[in-house]
Structure 1
Amino acid sequence: MLSEQSAAIVRATLPAVGASLAEITERFYAGLFAAHPELLRDLFNRGNQAAGTQRQALAGSIAAFATHLLDHPEQRPDVLLGRIAHKHAALGVTAEQYGTVHEHLFAAIADVLGEAVTPEVAAAWDEVYWLMANALVALEKRLYEERGGGGWREWEVVARVEETADVATFRLRPADGRPAPGFRAGQYVSVQVELADGARQIRQYSLCAAPGSPVRRISVKRVRGGSAPDGEVSNHLHARVRAGDRLRLSAPYGDLVLGDTDTDTGTGRPDTGTPLLLASAGIGVTPMVAMLGELADTGHQGPVLVVHGDRSPAEHALRADHEAYAKKLAHASVHFWYETDADADEESHRTGLVDLTGIAVPRGTRAYLCGPLPFMRAVRAQLIEKGVAPADIHYEVFGPDLWLAQEG
């Protein structure tokens, strides 16, 4: 909770700080990487930095956290903090790095806002920063402890399957022969690869097999086009990694899991009668396939709406698994939309973009979304119109979370 004095100052200066956050975060990253080039080489996603999306996500999270402190001083924004903590833990972020970030972030604030940053203003925003940073450090410490300290392990690729022209699935097992760590359907792992220039870049990929499977699976979509370094890890995996090769993986993380979720740990399971909706688009299918597998394995009895949008059936990765798991559920209905080549003879196929207008959504439905941000925003709006509570709509963003950054 912010002190009364700091709250008044943050409220008065939030419009000015918010309006300058884009410039502040740009200068912050420039200063950070000039002083610590190893962070850009081995920790931060160079593609996101080149595109500017990481700056947008940082600005959005700072603004959202400060606004929450002012509007709900008695509550901690656990959903926001939990999502960030899982992302940070998957990257191996350390408590010490928050001091480094503080140094360069506040230098950027002073540089951009100049004389407006009085000692009182600096102290108030310093309080905001450390409230957020200390909360994240505590959450990440708990996540690391629950996973035995986290850390990287080598995994052997036991098989590679070409799902579509641009999606390959890698089946993995621990190279050291020790048991694989447990995970929840919907979670992801970080994959670290060494590129030609020596950089050790990291990307997250959802685990797309049910938790009970002895072999882990990740499905990687090749990112084509754009300016380097966009897609440098996905292209490396597609071009160079085959059965018998090894990959460095983190422990599993992620808060998009089925059930009444503890934000810190991702515990809990859905009641077997809870109505569910699993909506995905493109490669966002990966966590949904894992969730369907878990529901099939646990004998979920409630209604399950399976919704997916893609360019065509041929580009629908994991479609056979998507359909097979749904068929194992007692009360599942499948609705696939394709922009082209939808099969008119398939009852589940529709042409166009995902549109829930004619689909009945049961009262009390819990919804899980994964896919491009415009898709998730559209589906969320349709679900709210149908009476689904906003608190029951959960989502996963691949890459920087721009949901908050693009609010309004």
Structure 2
Amino acid sequence: MLSEKSRPVIEATLPIIGERISHITPKFYSRMFAARPELLDGLFSRANQNNGTQQQALAGSIAAFATHLVNNPGTLPEAVLARIAHKHTSLGIAPEQYQIVYEHLFAAIVDDLGEAVTPAVAEAWTEVYWLMADALIKIEKGLYAQQANDKIWTDWTLVSKTIAGVGSITFRFAPADETAVTVAKPGQFVSVRVPLLDGIRQCRQYTLSDAVTSTTERVITTKFDEGGEVSPFMHQNLNVGDTVELSNPYGDLTIDTSGAPIVLATAGIGCTPSASALANLAAVGSDRQVLVLHAEATEDAWALKEQMRESIAALPNADLKLWLEDITAKADDTEATEGYMSLAGLDLPADARLYLCGPLAFMRAVRSQAIDAGIPATHIHYEVFGPDLWLAA
């Protein structure tokens, strides 16, 4: 809970901090990496630093947390914290690293705002920071304790590498040692850590894309990202028999195999959590009502097309609706609508749970349509690949 002493200070300074935070966070990262360059080796993503998304995500999370404390005294934004904590634990963030962030973040704030950072302002924002940090540390401790082992990274061997649509590849890994394996949940992700050609290790989170109940394999499907570093390395340099490091499974967007009807709305490579959920539903013989909505540029770019269709065919109450931007090259037996996904005219169950995954603009548009169609905002869940820019916005 934010103290009564700090609350008016935060309320008064939140507008200027909120306005300047997007300028402060680049200074913070520059300072921190200059002092601690080792943090770029296997922890922070250079690609996300270069394109600015990590800075935007940090700025958004700080502003969202402080705003919640002002508007909702006595509570914490649990959903925001859980999403951050799952990403942190998949990278092995440790409690002592929060002090490093604090030191360089507040130096960046002072550098940017100068004399406006009075002792009272510094004290109040320090309280906000440690409220957030302590809450995350507590959640992360619990997440680590839920795993079947106490290791951040374990070795996995690539056993197959197959094309999964234009520009996408499915990688199947088997454990490389006897470390106990955590059973994942549909919708969860693992971090992959690989050594790049310059010797620096880089990480990326990938959603598990097939049935997840096995402890003998991990399956991910990745799309080649020209602006990234991990997917190009995996697509071009990782071969069957090679070993990479995987984290334990994390992610707060999990899809159960029973309960209310679900609507899975995805676009592009965002189909991976949907594919995993469908595979698990099929594996347990679920009779749950499932509506699968997918949007793609072209049919041949649809990663996991055959896997998803097989799962849908095995489910007695599952239906598929497909949208293609370019419908001219679709197969004769493929039913699709030309253009972008639209919920207009669809029969959406009133009590449905909607799961979104895809580009941010796509998810925002579909979420708005779903709310207009009567699905409560509390029943709509989303997954973002990489830094959460929805929160930042």
What range describes the TM-score normalised by the shorter chain of this pair? over 0.9
Q: C-alpha displacement at 1:23, in angstroms? A: 1.1
Q: How many residues align?
A: 390
Between the aligned partners of 2:159 and 2:178, the Cα distance in structure 1 is: 13
Q: Are positions 1:377 and 2:364 aligned together?
A: yes
Match of 1:182 in 2: 183
Tell me if the contact between 1:334 and 1:348 (Cα under 8 Å) persists in the aligned partners: no
Between the aligned partners of 1:74 and 1:212, the Cα distance in structure 2 is: 39
Between the aligned partners of 1:158 and 1:180, the Cα distance in structure 2 is: 17
3-state SS, counterpart of residue 18 of structure 1: helix
Q: TM-score, normalised by structure 2?
A: 0.96
Tell me if the contact between 2:166 and 2:303 (Cα under 8 Å) persists in the aligned partners: no
Between the aligned partners of 2:224 and 2:20, the Cα distance in structure 1 is: 35
Q: C-alpha displacement at 1:162, in angstroms? A: 1.1
Match of 2:162 in 1: 161
Match of 1:5 in 2: 5
Match of 2:16 in 1: 16
Give unmatched runs, 5+ long, in structure 2: none
Give runs of aligned pairs for residues 54-73 of structure 1, distance below 5 A: 54-73=54-73
3-state SS, counterpart of residue 198 of structure 2: coil
Deviations 1:59-116 (A, max 9, x none): 1111100011111113221100000000000011110000000000001111111111
Match of 2:298 in 1: 312
3-state SS, counterpart of residue 251 of structure 2: coil
Tell me if the contact between 1:208 and 1:290 (Cα under 8 Å) persists in the aligned partners: yes
Given candidates 244, 258, 266, the residue that maps to 1:280 is 266
Between the aligned partners of 1:348 and 1:389, the Cα distance in structure 2 is: 29
Give runs of aligned pairs for residues 90-239 of structure 1, distance below 5 A: 90-147=90-147, 148-213=149-214, 214-224=216-226, 230-239=227-236
User: Aligned in 2, Cα 1:178/1:57: closer, same or farther, shift over 3 Å?
Assistant: closer
Tell me if the contact between 2:86 and 2:252 (Cα under 8 Å) persists in the aligned partners: yes
Moved more, 173-182 or 287-296: 173-182
Match of 2:52 in 1: 52
Given candidates 331, 342, 357, the residue that maps to 2:344 is 357
Between the aligned partners of 1:21 and 1:270, the Cα distance in structure 2 is: 42
Q: What residue identity is the alignment partner of 2:283?
A: D
3-state SS, counterpart of residue 404 of structure 1: helix
Give unmatched runs, 5+ long, in structure 1: 225-229, 260-268
Match of 2:75 in 1: 75
Between the aligned partners of 2:4 and 2:334, the Cα distance in structure 1 is: 60
Q: Are positions 1:295 and 2:281 aligned together?
A: yes
Q: What residue identity is the alignment partner of 1:300?
A: S
Q: What residue identity is the alignment partner of 2:357?
A: C
User: Aligned in 2, Cα 1:154/1:322: closer, same or farther, shift over 3 Å?
Assistant: same
Between the aligned partners of 1:243 and 1:403, the Cα distance in structure 2 is: 36
Tell me if the contact between 1:173 and 1:180 (Cα under 8 Å) persists in the aligned partners: no
Give runs of aligned pairs for residues 250-269 of structure 1, distance below 5 A: 250-259=247-256
Q: C-alpha displacement at 1:332, in angstroms? A: 1.1
Q: What residue identity is the alignment partner of 2:322?
A: F
Q: TM-score, normalised by structure 1?
A: 0.93
Match of 1:266 in 2: none
Between the aligned partners of 1:77 and 1:132, the Cα distance in structure 2 is: 10
Deviations 1:145-201 (A, max 9, x none): 111324211111111111123111111110114553210011011110111111010
User: Aligned in 2, Cα 1:344/1:191: closer, same or farther, shift over 3 Å?
Assistant: closer
Give the fraction of aligned pairs with identical amino acids, expressed as a percent: 49
Between the aligned partners of 2:75 and 2:124, the Cα distance in structure 1 is: 19
Q: C-alpha displacement at 1:297, in angstroms? A: 2.1
